[in-house]
Structure formats: structure tokens, C-alpha cells
Amino acid sequence: MPDPMQARLTRLWQRRGVPMATAFGLGVALALGQAPYGLWPLALAGLAGLTFLISRADSPGQAARLAWAGGAGHFALALSWIVEPFLVDIRTHGWMAPFALAGMAGGLALFWMAAGAFAGWAGRGPRGRALAFALALATVELARGYVLTGFPWALPGHIWIGTAPVQLAALTGQYGLTLVTALAVALPFALPHGPGRMLGAGLGAALLGGVALWGAARLDTPLPPRPEAPQIRLVQPNAAQHLKWRRDMVPVFWERLIGYTAAPGVPVPDLIVWPETSVPYLLNHADGALATIALAADGPPVMLGIQRRDGPRTHNSLAVIGAGGRVTQLYDKHHLVPFGEYIPLGHILGRFGIKGLAANDVYGYAPGPGPRVLNLGPHLGQALPLICYEAVFPQDLRTDTRPGWLVQITNDAWFGTRSGPYQHLALAQLRAVETGLPMVRAANTGVSAVIDPMGRITHSLPLNTEGALTAPLPPALNATPYARTGDWPIAALLLATLAGFVARRARK
């Protein structure tokens, strides 16, 4: 006779909405692996549960819906900081916050929906669907980094940042890290029941364990010595975004910047770095301010964030200020934030007062020509500047000339005080691992940090504090395999395996 309890549980599960709610909850669990939570065991359990649900889906449509719900839960928590920019001027933009979060979570979940639909269509039975979903999920996450200017934030592979397995990114980049993560949790469901299920779990554990052991061994490798390393001073004024441009507070933050720049200390800095848009004047009209900065620095150059006009165009720029306030290097941010720094079709929408949240100009910022390596002299060497969200994109770090280090200036006050600034910092750590280059980052409200080429934070200033730190620039490693190849090997591997599923489906 059938078990009455099992029958009741089956009827409960089949009720409309229960599987979707379960998938949503599993996606939330997966998001808890992201910074600042770092609960990677819970994240693995969430991804494993979502993979199991999709493997048991009755149709491609159900698999797609479950994957969308899981993605929506994941992005709703992982990207909850997306509401923060709308709360800076809450009277004007606050009403948009819930729509922004819902739209972002639901929109990005469409990528996962495509992965679920492919798994449901191409996989033969539960085992095939589990494996197909793992491969398709890694594929759509790679696509998410490029489609519509890209948004590769909160990838499943990011749960390993700050742990030994993240070192795999030096070989495969973040998408290879996501692929290995998805495969490891899919293996228990991709092999037959019984002994096969245990074998799959063992193989998944062995895969992650092997990556962790290799990463730990890499972390134990001493960095090459760097005698007389340049000393970098990072200045953090802690200008809250709702106060940053207020008339009575602009002089306060300016005095903080100048004061920490001029502060005596040992060792003496070779370069001073200010955050993004830290100068409250356009570069075109800032001669007096730049001279004041140079005087305060008393010798070392100052790298800073400043806005500038070029005819009708406004740029979010980084400038290097030398003796007398002379601009010696200039870089214009080229990878802009949609709806933050510019509005698509802004020439039309700007007429109705709609502009980017972070742009003072009605039509938003104009993009610069592309990445540019700055030559800062024989002692400091060549640096690749990144402004804010450009550090999220590994493709933005690929230049004809390999720099000696990376520098990021950012204003993470836009991201609030909970998860956003910590996720942004984690992605900076990941870029260092992928390239084998050290990174220094000056953040308006924090976290300002010096990061070595294996992604370890060597010095930092906490979030929401004012101050400055002076620290040696860590040495660079040789170019990593990922730095030489980029995403092409992983993309080719994923496309080949998915093509194999399609071919098998066609022969069915």
C-alpha cells in the first residue's frame, strides 16, 4: 500500500508555486556565498539543490521556470545593494528602488532561465539534465559578462574569493571557476543512483578538493623579492554620497584630502592616490586647486579622480598631477555604468530631466577611447588605471602592453554600507589573481586596499572611516595563463560541450 505521508508530501509539492518558491530559496542560499557573507558551504548546497530540482523537471518549460526562480532569488539577495544609489536622493529617486531591484534580479535571472530551458530540452533524463544545466549555467554566466555592455557580478564562482580555490582563476578566469563549481555540484546527480550517486559525490568533492590543494600550494609559493618597492599612499576622505556635493561639506572633504596628502610620515610616499571624482572642480577650471594639491604633496605625484569637459562631452577621468599642479597623465573612463553614468538614448530622455544617477551632466558621461597604460617613470613603472566598475570586467584589463600593476579609484559610497562595497573589493582581489598583478585601490568611503598578485589584502582602511595608509607596492608575477588567453579557451570548451548535447538530441 502507498505510504499516506509520502502521498501527502507529493500533493503538497505539486501545489502551484511550491517548486518555484523552493527554487527561489535555494537561489538565496547560493547568494550567501558572496561577500561579505562568504558562506560557501551553504552556497554549494543551494546550487546543488537547484541543480537537483532542474534535473527532475517534467519539461523544458518547468526547468526554465525553476532556473529563473533560482536566479531571481540569487540576484535579489546578492545584488540587494542596487537600491542604494536610489536612496541617496530618496525624495527624487527613492520610488525607483524596488523596481530597480526587481528588474535587475528578474532580468539577470533570464540568463539562468535560458540555461534551465537548454537543460530541459537537451538532457536525456535527470542525469543528462543535471550535467547540461551545469554546462549551460557556466555558458550563460560568461555571456552575462559581455551582453549589453556586460554585468559579471555575483557569479557562482565568486563564492571562492578569499579562499584557496580562487587561485584557479589564474588559469581559467572567473568563468572557469564557475564551470568547476557547477560541475562539482552536478556530478552526484549526473551518475546512476546507488553506488553511482556516491561516486559522483566523491568525484565532485575530489574536484573541489584538488583545486583547493593546488590553490593552497600556490599561496605558499613566496613572491619574488622587490627591493626598494615604491611606497603608495591611499587617501580615504569618507565622503558620504548624500553629503559629497553639499556646499557646506565640500570644504570639509577637501580639507581632509589635502590634510592626509600633506601629512608627514615614514616611509615617504612615492605616489599619492585619491578616489574617484574626489576633486570638486572640473579639470578645465581647477588650476588653483591642482597647484594646492601639488603643494600639499611636496614632491610625489598625486593620482586623482576628477571630471572634465571636452567640448560638449563630460568625462569621468583620472589625472596624475606633478610639480606645480601640472597634469602629466590623463585617462578617461571608457566602460560606463548604464543608467548610472549615462542613460541609453540620453539625448532624448535628457530633455525630460532623466539622467544618470552619478553624472552631473544632463546627458551623462561620454566614454573614453579605451584602456590606457600610464607610464609613471622608472621607479613606479607602468600602471593600468581602472575607474570604479571597470574593475568588474576582466576584458577591460587586456592591453597590448602588460602593465606592472593595477590601480583602481572608486566611489563606493554609491553602494551603501552592507554588501556592495565588499563585493566590489572582492572583484578587485579576483582581478589580481587573474592577471598576476598587484592592485591598489583608493575608495571614497572604503574599502581602500593594497592587494598582492595572489589576491591577498596586505593593507587596508576599513569601510566608513577617514584616513590614509602608506604601503609598499607588492611585486608582480609573470603573466598568468589567463592573462595571456582571456576567456576564449573556456568559451570554446563550453560551446563544444553544448554542441555535443545538441548533436545527441538531434540523433534522438
Q: Which residues are catalytic?
A: 276, 333, 388
In this structure, what DSSP letter does residue 242 have?
A: H
| Backbone CA torsion sign across 383, 384, 387, 389 | negative
Residue pair 24/72 in contact (Cβ under 8 Å)? The answer is: yes
* Cell output for 25: 530559496
- Using DSSP, state whether 123 is helix, strand or coil: coil
Residue pair 487/173 in contact (Cβ under 8 Å)? The answer is: yes
Say which residue the cell 574569493 belongs to.
161
Q: What single string gives the DSSP state of each residue in 329-373?
A: EEEE--S--BTTTB-TTHHHHGGGT---TT-SSTT-PPP-SS---
Residue pair 98/86 in contact (Cβ under 8 Å)? The answer is: no
| Backbone CA torsion sign across 324, 329, 334, 335 | negative
Q: Does residue 446 come out as left (phi exceeding 0), alpha (psi in the -120 to 50 range) or beta?
A: left
* Cell output for 353: 530631466
Q: In this structure, what are the phi and psi dihedrals at residue 458, rounded to the nearest 5 degrees?
A: -95, -30
Beta partners for 121?
A: none
For the beta sheet containing 405-410, the strands, ordered from the edge strand earlier in sequence to the opposite edge, are 374-375, 382-387, 405-410, 439-443, 448-451, 457-461
